[in-house]
Protein backbone atom coordinates (compact mmCIF):
# COMPACT_ATOMS: atom_id res chain seq x y z
CA UNK A 1 0.00 0.00 0.00
CA UNK A 2 1.54 3.28 -1.13
CA UNK A 3 0.24 6.77 -1.73
CA UNK A 4 -0.22 6.10 -5.44
CA UNK A 5 -2.73 3.35 -4.64
CA UNK A 6 -4.73 5.70 -2.44
CA UNK A 7 -4.81 8.35 -5.15
CA UNK A 8 -5.82 5.80 -7.80
CA UNK A 9 -8.68 4.55 -5.63
CA UNK A 10 -9.79 8.14 -5.02
CA UNK A 11 -9.74 8.86 -8.75
CA UNK A 12 -11.97 5.85 -9.44
CA UNK A 13 -14.41 6.87 -6.70
CA UNK A 14 -14.46 10.43 -8.01
CA UNK A 15 -15.53 9.33 -11.48
CA UNK A 16 -18.49 7.47 -10.00
CA UNK A 17 -19.48 10.47 -7.88
CA UNK A 18 -19.41 12.77 -10.91
CA UNK A 19 -21.83 10.45 -12.72
CA UNK A 20 -24.29 10.61 -9.82
CA UNK A 21 -24.09 14.36 -9.18
CA UNK A 22 -22.86 16.75 -11.88
CA UNK A 23 -20.33 19.44 -11.09
CA UNK A 24 -22.92 22.16 -11.66
CA UNK A 25 -25.44 20.47 -9.37
CA UNK A 26 -22.78 20.09 -6.70
CA UNK A 27 -21.76 23.75 -6.93
CA UNK A 28 -25.37 24.74 -6.33
CA UNK A 29 -25.63 22.40 -3.34
CA UNK A 30 -22.41 23.75 -1.86
CA UNK A 31 -23.66 27.33 -2.06
CA UNK A 32 -26.88 26.31 -0.31
CA UNK A 33 -24.98 24.74 2.57
CA UNK A 34 -24.80 27.42 5.25
CA UNK A 35 -21.37 28.28 6.55
CA UNK A 36 -21.36 28.49 10.32
CA UNK A 37 -18.32 30.78 10.30
CA UNK A 38 -16.31 28.11 12.06
CA UNK A 39 -13.13 28.33 9.98
CA UNK A 40 -11.97 31.54 11.64
CA UNK A 41 -12.94 30.39 15.13
CA UNK A 42 -10.94 27.19 14.56
CA UNK A 43 -7.83 29.22 13.76
CA UNK A 44 -8.44 31.38 16.82
CA UNK A 45 -8.61 28.25 18.97
CA UNK A 46 -5.30 27.08 17.54
CA UNK A 47 -3.70 30.43 18.35
CA UNK A 48 -4.99 30.40 21.94
CA UNK A 49 -2.97 29.13 24.89
CA UNK A 50 -3.19 25.41 25.47
CA UNK A 51 -3.16 22.54 23.03
CA UNK A 52 -5.97 22.04 20.52
CA UNK A 53 -7.05 18.47 19.84
CA UNK A 54 -8.59 17.36 16.55
CA UNK A 55 -10.24 14.02 17.25
CA UNK A 56 -10.69 11.61 14.38
CA UNK A 57 -13.61 9.37 13.48
CA UNK A 58 -12.41 6.37 11.47
CA UNK A 59 -13.07 2.66 11.36
CA UNK A 60 -10.01 1.43 9.50
CA UNK A 61 -6.65 2.39 8.02
CA UNK A 62 -4.33 0.87 5.39
CA UNK A 63 -1.60 0.26 7.98
CA UNK A 64 -3.77 -1.30 10.73
CA UNK A 65 -6.80 -2.65 8.89
CA UNK A 66 -10.06 -2.64 10.87
CA UNK A 67 -9.49 -0.61 14.05
CA UNK A 68 -12.93 -1.10 15.58
CA UNK A 69 -15.72 -3.48 14.55
CA UNK A 70 -18.50 -1.48 16.16
CA UNK A 71 -18.64 2.01 14.68
CA UNK A 72 -21.34 4.26 16.20
CA UNK A 73 -19.86 7.33 14.53
CA UNK A 74 -22.49 9.78 15.78
CA UNK A 75 -21.96 8.68 19.39
CA UNK A 76 -18.20 8.90 18.95
CA UNK A 77 -18.48 12.46 17.63
CA UNK A 78 -20.80 13.36 20.51
CA UNK A 79 -18.25 12.04 23.01
CA UNK A 80 -15.49 14.03 21.31
CA UNK A 81 -17.54 17.22 21.52
CA UNK A 82 -18.25 16.60 25.22
CA UNK A 83 -14.50 16.33 25.80
CA UNK A 84 -13.94 19.82 24.42
CA UNK A 85 -12.00 19.04 21.26
CA UNK A 86 -11.36 21.88 18.80
CA UNK A 87 -12.54 19.97 15.74
CA UNK A 88 -13.63 16.55 14.54
CA UNK A 89 -11.87 14.83 11.64
CA UNK A 90 -13.99 12.43 9.61
CA UNK A 91 -12.50 9.94 7.16
CA UNK A 92 -14.41 9.89 3.89
CA UNK A 93 -12.05 7.64 1.90
CA UNK A 94 -14.01 4.46 1.25
CA UNK A 95 -11.71 1.69 0.01
CA UNK A 96 -8.90 1.68 2.56
CA UNK A 97 -10.29 3.69 5.51
CA UNK A 98 -13.92 2.46 5.24
CA UNK A 99 -15.05 6.07 5.39
CA UNK A 100 -18.12 7.70 3.87
CA UNK A 101 -19.08 11.26 3.06
CA UNK A 102 -22.44 10.46 4.66
CA UNK A 103 -20.69 10.03 8.03
CA UNK A 104 -19.39 13.58 7.74
CA UNK A 105 -22.77 14.94 6.64
CA UNK A 106 -24.58 13.39 9.60
CA UNK A 107 -21.93 14.44 12.13
CA UNK A 108 -21.92 18.00 10.77
CA UNK A 109 -25.70 18.19 11.17
CA UNK A 110 -25.47 17.15 14.83
CA UNK A 111 -22.32 19.03 15.87
CA UNK A 112 -21.48 22.69 16.35
CA UNK A 113 -17.77 21.97 15.98
CA UNK A 114 -15.64 22.49 12.85
CA UNK A 115 -15.53 19.27 10.82
CA UNK A 116 -12.48 18.25 8.78
CA UNK A 117 -12.98 16.18 5.66
CA UNK A 118 -10.07 13.74 5.84
CA UNK A 119 -9.52 12.44 2.33
CA UNK A 120 -7.15 12.57 -0.61
CA UNK A 121 -8.37 15.72 -2.33
CA UNK A 122 -7.29 15.65 -5.98
CA UNK A 123 -10.06 17.62 -7.68
CA UNK A 124 -12.11 20.79 -7.02
CA UNK A 125 -15.20 18.57 -7.09
CA UNK A 126 -14.16 17.10 -3.72
CA UNK A 127 -13.92 20.57 -2.17
CA UNK A 128 -17.44 21.47 -3.26
CA UNK A 129 -18.51 18.04 -1.99
CA UNK A 130 -16.99 18.81 1.41
CA UNK A 131 -18.76 22.16 1.62
CA UNK A 132 -22.11 20.67 0.58
CA UNK A 133 -21.75 17.99 3.27
CA UNK A 134 -21.09 20.60 5.96
CA UNK A 135 -17.31 20.48 6.33
CA UNK A 136 -15.41 23.47 7.69
CA UNK A 137 -11.94 22.15 6.90
CA UNK A 138 -10.30 20.13 4.16
CA UNK A 139 -6.95 18.38 3.99
CA UNK A 140 -4.59 19.24 1.13
CA UNK A 141 -1.70 16.79 0.87
CA UNK A 142 1.30 18.44 -0.77
CA UNK A 143 2.72 15.11 -1.97
CA UNK A 144 -0.21 14.50 -4.33
CA UNK A 145 -0.80 18.04 -5.62
CA UNK A 146 1.06 20.44 -7.89
CA UNK A 147 1.89 23.97 -6.75
CA UNK A 148 -0.85 25.25 -9.04
CA UNK A 149 -3.39 22.90 -7.48
CA UNK A 150 -2.35 23.84 -3.94
CA UNK A 151 -2.93 27.52 -4.59
CA UNK A 152 -6.16 26.94 -6.51
CA UNK A 153 -7.63 24.63 -3.87
CA UNK A 154 -6.66 26.92 -0.99
CA UNK A 155 -8.40 29.82 -2.70
CA UNK A 156 -11.48 27.74 -3.49
CA UNK A 157 -11.79 26.46 0.08
CA UNK A 158 -11.72 30.00 1.44
CA UNK A 159 -14.15 31.21 -1.19
CA UNK A 160 -16.56 28.56 0.11
CA UNK A 161 -16.07 29.64 3.72
CA UNK A 162 -13.70 26.83 4.62
CA UNK A 163 -10.03 26.56 5.56
CA UNK A 164 -7.39 24.01 4.57
CA UNK A 165 -4.82 22.09 6.54
CA UNK A 166 -1.86 21.76 4.19
CA UNK A 167 -0.11 18.50 4.98
CA UNK A 168 3.62 17.86 4.62
CA UNK A 169 6.01 15.08 5.58
CA UNK A 170 9.47 16.32 4.62
CA UNK A 171 11.52 19.47 4.09
CA UNK A 172 10.80 19.70 0.37
CA UNK A 173 7.05 19.49 0.90
CA UNK A 174 7.23 22.04 3.70
CA UNK A 175 9.07 24.47 1.43
CA UNK A 176 6.31 24.10 -1.16
CA UNK A 177 3.61 24.59 1.47
CA UNK A 178 5.26 27.74 2.80
CA UNK A 179 5.36 29.15 -0.73
CA UNK A 180 1.55 29.27 -0.56
CA UNK A 181 -0.45 31.41 1.85
CA UNK A 182 -1.47 28.35 3.87
CA UNK A 183 -2.43 29.40 7.39
CA UNK A 184 -2.31 25.88 8.85
CA UNK A 185 0.53 23.43 8.26
CA UNK A 186 -0.16 19.81 9.14
CA UNK A 187 2.97 17.76 9.75
CA UNK A 188 2.31 14.07 9.18
CA UNK A 189 4.57 11.86 11.27
CA UNK A 190 3.65 8.92 9.05
CA UNK A 191 5.53 8.51 5.78
CA UNK A 192 2.71 7.76 3.34
CA UNK A 193 5.07 5.88 1.03
CA UNK A 194 5.88 3.18 3.61
CA UNK A 195 3.68 4.03 6.63
CA UNK A 196 6.58 4.26 9.07
CA UNK A 197 5.99 6.72 11.92
CA UNK A 198 8.33 9.06 13.78
CA UNK A 199 7.40 12.00 16.01
CA UNK A 200 10.80 13.44 15.14
CA UNK A 201 9.28 14.53 11.84
CA UNK A 202 7.19 17.14 13.68
CA UNK A 203 10.13 18.15 15.87
CA UNK A 204 12.39 18.79 12.89
CA UNK A 205 9.92 20.43 10.51
CA UNK A 206 8.02 22.59 13.00
CA UNK A 207 11.25 24.44 13.77
CA UNK A 208 11.23 25.66 10.16
CA UNK A 209 7.67 27.00 10.19
CA UNK A 210 7.36 30.80 10.71
CA UNK A 211 5.51 31.94 13.83
CA UNK A 212 2.67 33.39 11.76
CA UNK A 213 1.69 29.92 10.54
CA UNK A 214 -0.18 27.42 12.71
CA UNK A 215 1.16 23.88 13.14
CA UNK A 216 -0.74 20.64 13.72
CA UNK A 217 1.07 17.35 14.39
CA UNK A 218 -0.65 14.36 12.78
CA UNK A 219 -0.33 10.57 13.15
CA UNK A 220 1.49 8.33 15.57
CA UNK A 221 0.31 10.06 18.74
CA UNK A 222 -0.48 7.23 21.14
CA UNK A 223 -0.43 8.75 24.62
CA UNK A 224 -0.25 11.82 26.79
CA UNK A 225 3.49 11.19 26.94
CA UNK A 226 3.72 11.62 23.18
CA UNK A 227 1.94 14.95 23.44
CA UNK A 228 4.22 16.10 26.26
CA UNK A 229 7.20 15.08 24.13
CA UNK A 230 5.91 17.11 21.19
CA UNK A 231 5.17 20.14 23.35
CA UNK A 232 8.68 20.00 24.80
CA UNK A 233 10.49 19.40 21.52
CA UNK A 234 8.37 20.98 18.78
CA UNK A 235 6.39 24.13 18.05
CA UNK A 236 2.82 22.93 17.73
CA UNK A 237 -0.60 24.50 18.13
CA UNK A 238 -2.57 21.29 17.96
CA UNK A 239 -2.56 17.55 17.41
CA UNK A 240 -4.71 15.28 15.27
CA UNK A 241 -5.35 11.93 16.97
CA UNK A 242 -7.16 9.01 15.38
CA UNK A 243 -6.41 5.36 16.09
CA UNK A 244 -5.48 5.91 19.75
CA UNK A 245 -8.84 7.54 20.46
CA UNK A 246 -10.80 5.05 18.39
CA UNK A 247 -9.40 2.20 20.50
CA UNK A 248 -10.02 4.02 23.81
CA UNK A 249 -12.96 2.69 25.84
CA UNK A 250 -13.59 6.08 27.44
CA UNK A 251 -12.78 8.63 24.77
CA UNK A 252 -13.72 11.68 26.84
CA UNK A 253 -11.42 10.77 29.73
CA UNK A 254 -8.63 9.89 27.30
CA UNK A 255 -8.87 13.30 25.64
CA UNK A 256 -8.98 15.15 28.96
CA UNK A 257 -5.84 13.30 30.08
CA UNK A 258 -4.13 14.10 26.78
CA UNK A 259 -4.91 17.78 27.18
CA UNK A 260 -3.52 17.70 30.72
Catalytic residues: 56, 58, 118, 167, 188, 218-219
Query: How are beta strands 214-218 and 115-118 bridged, if at all?
Result: unpaired
Angstrom CA distances, 235 to 57, 64, 139, 165, 215, stand at 25, 28, 20, 16, 7
Contact assessment for residue 157 and residue 164, using Cβ atoms and an 8 Å cutoff: yes
Contact present, 233 and 205 (Cβ < 8 Å): no
- CA dihedral of residues 233, 236, 237, 241 (deg, nearest 10): -90
- Sign, CA dihedral 119-122-128-129, equals negative
Angstrom distance (rounded) from CA 240 to CA 17: 28
Amino acid sequence: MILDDLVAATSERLELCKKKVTFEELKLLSRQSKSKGLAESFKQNLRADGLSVIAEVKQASPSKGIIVNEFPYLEIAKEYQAAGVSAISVLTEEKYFHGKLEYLREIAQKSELPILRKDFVIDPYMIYEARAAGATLILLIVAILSDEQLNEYLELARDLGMEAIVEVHNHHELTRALNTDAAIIGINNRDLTNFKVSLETTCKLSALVPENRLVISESGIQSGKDITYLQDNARINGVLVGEYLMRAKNKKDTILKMKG
